[in-house]
Structure 1
Amino acid sequence: MNPELINDCVHCGFCLPACPTYTLWGEEMDSPRGRIHLMKQYVEGTALTPEMAGHFDACLGCMACVSACPSGVQYDRLIESARAEVERVHRRPVADRAFRALVFGLFPYPRRLRALRLPLRLGERLTPRLRPLLERLDPRLAAMAELAPPVTRRVRLPRRVAARGERRATVGVLTGCVQGEFFPGVNAATVRVLAMEGCEVVIPPGQGCCGALSVHSGRAEEAAGFARRTIETFERAGVDTVIVNAAGCGSSTKEYAELLAADPAWAARARALRFADLAEFLAELGPVAERHPLPVTVAYHDACHLAHAQGIRAQPRALLATIPGLRLREVPDAAMCCGSAGTYNLFQPLAARDLGDRKAEQVLSVGADLLVSANPGCTMQIAAAARRRGERIRVAHTAEVLDASLRGLPPTTLGRAREHTSGPTSAERAQ
C-alpha cells in the first residue's frame, strides 16, 4: 500500500453516496475513505486484524468512488494492494479457504467450467428445491447455484474470420472464461459484428483466463501468470489489437503493464498490445454495415468496470442509437453497482443479494423489453434478482443487439435462451 496514494485522500466525503456498501450499511469503515483510513493505520504499524480484513473484503471494487472523487484518489490501486496484503498476511478460517480454493480452482479455467455444463443442465430444475438445504450448509453455495445461467448450446468459433467487404482492420478476440463457456453466443455475435464492420478477426485457440478474477481478489502473482499467457497467445496470433467484450476482463487487460511492472520486459510486451472494449473500438472505427430496424425497448446497464474503471459510457449508447426502431431507456441510479463485482456475489452473497434486488427493481421500473449489459457477471446477477421477484427479464449483450440489427433478425431472438420463468415481462406488466 503506497503511503503517497493513501495521503491523496482528503476525507471530503464525496465518495460516500457513490459507495454501495456505505449506502447499504452507513458504516464509515465500509466507505472508501474509511478503508483508506484503515490502510493508513496498517502502513503506520497497526496489525492487520480480522475486522480490518473484513472491511477490505466487503468492498466490491466497483470504482464508483474513483468516478466521484474530486481529488483523483487512485482507490483502485489502493484496494488491490490492500487485498494483496490481506492474502499475504491474513489467515482465513478453514471454510473460507476451502470455498476460495473451489472458486479459484474452477472459474479461471475454461475446461473445468466446461465440465460443469452437464451438472448445471441436470440441476436447473433441482436448484429451487435444493436452495434451502444449500442455504443451511453455506449461503455461498446457494448463491453459486442461484446465479448459474441456463446452459446453452456450445458454439465453436473458427480461428479466423474474413472481413466483409473492404478490410478495415485486423483484430484478435478474447473469448474469456465465463463468457466463453456460459455465454458463447456473445462471442459469436462479437465476431460477426466485427467482420460485418470490415474487420478480419483472429480467435486464437486454447485461450485461458485473462487474470481479472485473480487480480481483483488480491492474487497478484496468479493474475500475472494469466496475463503472461494471454499476452503470449495474442503475440503468436500476430495481432496488436485485442477486442474484449466483458467489462471486468477489459479493465484488467488494460492494466497488464502495471501488473507486470516488476518485469520491464513483460511490461513492454504488455504495452505493445492494445486491449480495447468492443463498444470503444466500434465507436472509433465508425459504422459501415447497414442497420436493419429493431423495434425493441432497451434498458442499458452500465457495468462498473466499463463505466467507472474504463470510462466507457457514451460509446455503447451511441452504438445502440444507430439502430432504427430501438428505444433506449435509462436505468435510475445507473452508477450504483448491481452487486456482481467479479466473485463478490459468491464471497459476499448477502450484500450482493441486497444490491442485486435494488438494481433489478430499478431495471424493471423502466418497463423495457430487454436489458442490455456488457458483462456476464452483471447479466447473471440481475437476472437472478429478477427471478427472486417472480419476474422474467430478457437479457442481451450489446454485441448481440448489434448483431440482430445487422442480420435483420426479429427482436424476439434476443435473450430468448436465457429466460428462466414463465411470468410476464416488466414491459408486459406496464401495459
Structure 2
Amino acid sequence: MSAQDDLPKLLGDCVHCGFCLPTCPTYVLWGQEMDSPRGRIHLMQQHVDGEPLSGQMVEHFDACLGCMACVTSCPSGVQYDRLIELTRAEVEREHERPLKERVMRELVFRLFPYRRRLRALRGPLRLYQKSGLERLVRRSGVLERVSPSVAAMERLAPPLGRAPRLPERVAARGARRATVAMLTGCVQGEFFPGVNAATARVLALEGCDVLIPRAQGCCGALSLHSGREEEARAFARRTIETFESADVIVVNAAGCGSAMKEYRALLADEPAWARRADALSARTRDLAEFLVELGPRAERRPLPVTAAYHDACHLSHAQGVRGQPRALLAGIPELVVREIAEPDICCGSAGTYNLFQPEAAGELGDRKAVNVDATGAELLVAANPGCSMQIATALRRRGAGIAIAHTAQVLDASLRGLGRDAVVARRS
C-alpha cells in the first residue's frame, strides 16, 4: 500500500468539530472556512471523491502554512500534517501551475537546498548590502514590480558577515560525556554560521565530542513540506547515509529536525530504507531537547538580559519541544524570560511560505512583531533560521530595535561569560 492510499483513512479521522479554527493562522487572518484545516480537509475529501484539482482548490492548499498548530489543538488526533503533505504531493503531480509561478519555485528549490550555491551567493550579497545598493533598491520598489516573491527574498536576507568554517571534529572540554553528530543545515549554515559555531561550542563545553561531517547536504525539509516527495526522499537517503553511524544527531534548526524525525514516514514505502530511516529518526534530537536530556555540567554565568522566547512551529507543534528551551534559559542567572502573546500563531515564515505567499506572510510577521515588541524585551530568542529572518524583517518595519539570537548563542554567551553585549548587539 502506498502512502497516498492512507489519505482516505486519515481524512475520516476529522469530526469537523472546529477546535482547530482559532489556532489556524490563515483562518485568524481571514475568517474563511476554506482557509481553515477543517475547510481544507473538506476540499481534500472532494478530491478523493473524484473532484479534479482546480486552481481555486490549490490556492487554499497553498495558503496553508503547514504550521501544525491544528494538530496540537485537535481532540480527535487528526494527522493534518500528514494530510497536507500528501495533498501537496498530489498537487505537484497533477496541477499545472502558471509559468511565472513554476519559474519562481524552481529558482527557490534549485538554490536553497544546496550549500555550495548559497555559498556562491554570499559574496555578491555581502557586497550588495555593504555598498548601499540595498537601501537604494528598497526605496525604489523596483523588486516589488518585478516579483513580490523576489522582493520578499531580498528583504529577508540577514546582514552577512564572514562565515567561520567549522572543523570536522570539536573535542569535548573535560571528561567526555557523549559523542554527537551535528547537522549544519543549508540556510543555517550559510546565513547563520554563528549559530552553528555556538552550537558546537556549547556541546563541547557540556562534555560532548562533536562530529561535523563535511559530506552532509540538505535534509530535505523544504522539499518535504512543499510536496516535492521524490526530491525529499533523495535528500533523506543521502542524510541517512551520512549520519547513520552516529549515536545521536543534534539539530539546531526546527524545520530540519522535524523533517528528519519524519523520515520514518517519508521512506516507509521503501523496504531497503524504511528500517534505516526509522533508526535515524529515533536518534535525532533538537539541541534543546538533547541538552536537557544530558543535563547541565558547565557553569552558567550571569547574563542580565530581558528576553522573549519564540516557539518555532516545527519545534513546538511538530516535535513537541516546548519546555526544554525555556528550562535552558531559566538556568542562566539574571536572564529574565517573558512570554509572547499568541505563541501558537505562526510568524509567517513556514519554510518557503514567506517567499511564495509574501502578502499573508507579511501580515503574520507584523502580528508577531507587535506581540514581541509588547513584551518590552531587548532580545528575542528563536530556534529556527526562517523565524529569525521573518521576525527580524517585521521588527525592522515596525522600527523596533530588538536583538535576535538562537538559544545556542544565548547559552554560549553565558557559558563563556561574554556578557549581555554578546547577544543584544545583533539588533533587528
Separation of aligned partners in 1, 2:176 and 2:277: 26
Separation of aligned partners in 1, 2:133 and 2:56: 37
Q: Is the 8 A contact 1:353 1:385 kept in 2?
A: yes
Letter in 1 for 2:255: G
Give the Å deviation of 1:415: 5.0
Letter in 1 for 2:259: S
The one of 406, 410, 422 equivalent to 2:419 is: 410
Alignment of 1:161 onto 2:166: no
Give the Å deviation of 1:121: 1.3
Q: Deviations over 1:239-288 (max 9, x none)?
A: 12100000000100001111111112212112222110000000111001
Separation of aligned partners in 1, 2:10 and 2:134: 45
Q: Which residue of 1 aligns with 2:11?
A: 6
Q: Which residue of 1 aligns with 2:117?
A: 112
Matches within 5 A, 1:62-77: 62-77=67-82
Q: Is the 8 A contact 1:152 1:183 kept in 2?
A: no
Q: Which residue of 2 aligns with 1:326?
A: 335
Separation of aligned partners in 1, 2:266 and 2:247: 19
Q: Deviations over 1:45-79 (max 9, x none)?
A: 00100100110000000000001101100000000
Alignment of 1:226 onto 2:235: yes
Q: Is the 8 A contact 2:184 2:196 kept in 1?
A: yes
Compare 150-159 and 398-407 and name the one that shifted more. 150-159
Q: Is the 8 A contact 2:377 2:402 kept in 1?
A: no
Matches within 5 A, 1:169-318: 169-235=178-244, 238-273=245-280, 274-318=283-327
Separation of aligned partners in 1, 2:345 and 2:182: 29
Q: Which residue of 2 aligns with 1:58?
A: 63
The one of 387, 392, 404 equivalent to 1:383 is: 392
Separation of aligned partners in 2, 1:379 and 1:162: 29
Compare 123-132 and 84-93 and name the one that shifted more. 123-132
Q: TM-score, normalised by structure 2?
A: 0.96
Give the Å deviation of 1:390: 1.9
Which sections of structure 2, spanning at least 5 residues, go unmatched? none
Separation of aligned partners in 2, 1:309 and 1:126: 39
Q: Deviations over 1:191-222 (max 9, x none)?
A: 11111111111000032110000000000110
Q: Is the 8 A contact 1:127 1:146 kept in 2?
A: no
Separation of aligned partners in 1, 2:160 and 2:119: 10
Computed over aligned residues only, the root mean square deviation of the Cα atoms, in angstroms, reads: 1.0
Q: Is the 8 A contact 1:240 1:272 kept in 2?
A: no
Q: Is the 8 A contact 1:164 1:197 kept in 2?
A: yes
Separation of aligned partners in 2, 1:143 and 1:123: 16
Q: Which residue of 2 aligns with 1:140?
A: 149
Q: Is the 8 A contact 1:42 1:48 kept in 2?
A: yes
Q: Is the 8 A contact 2:254 2:315 kept in 1?
A: yes
Q: Is the 8 A contact 2:126 2:161 kept in 1?
A: no
Alignment of 1:16 onto 2:21: yes
Letter in 1 for 2:117: R
Letter in 2 for 1:38: L
Matches within 5 A, 1:25-104: 25-104=30-109
Which sections of structure 1, spanning at least 5 residues, go unmatched? 421-431
Letter in 1 for 2:393: A
Separation of aligned partners in 2, 1:394 and 1:5: 42
Give the Å deviation of 1:167: 1.2
Separation of aligned partners in 1, 2:325 and 2:72: 18
Separation of aligned partners in 2, 1:196 and 1:267: 35
Structure 1 runs of 4+ aligned residues shifted over 3 Å read: none
Identity, in percent, stands at 70
Separation of aligned partners in 2, 1:415 and 1:207: 32
The one of 126, 131, 136 equivalent to 1:129 is: 136
Q: Which residue of 2 aligns with 1:336?
A: 345
Q: Deviations over 1:60-105 (max 9, x none)?
A: 0000000110110000000000000000000000000000010000
Separation of aligned partners in 2, 1:289 and 1:215: 37
Compare 374-383 and 269-278 and name the one that shifted more. 269-278
Give the Å deviation of 1:127: 2.8
Q: Which residue of 2 aligns with 1:426?
A: none
Give the Å deviation of 1:391: 2.2
Give the Å deviation of 1:119: 1.9
Q: Is the 8 A contact 2:250 2:290 kept in 1?
A: yes
Q: TM-score, normalised by structure 1?
A: 0.95
Q: Is the 8 A contact 1:163 1:197 kept in 2?
A: yes
Letter in 1 for 2:327: A
Letter in 1 for 2:98: P
Q: Which residue of 2 aligns with 1:429?
A: none
Letter in 1 for 2:321: I
Separation of aligned partners in 1, 2:410 and 2:85: 34
Separation of aligned partners in 1, 2:175 and 2:422: 29
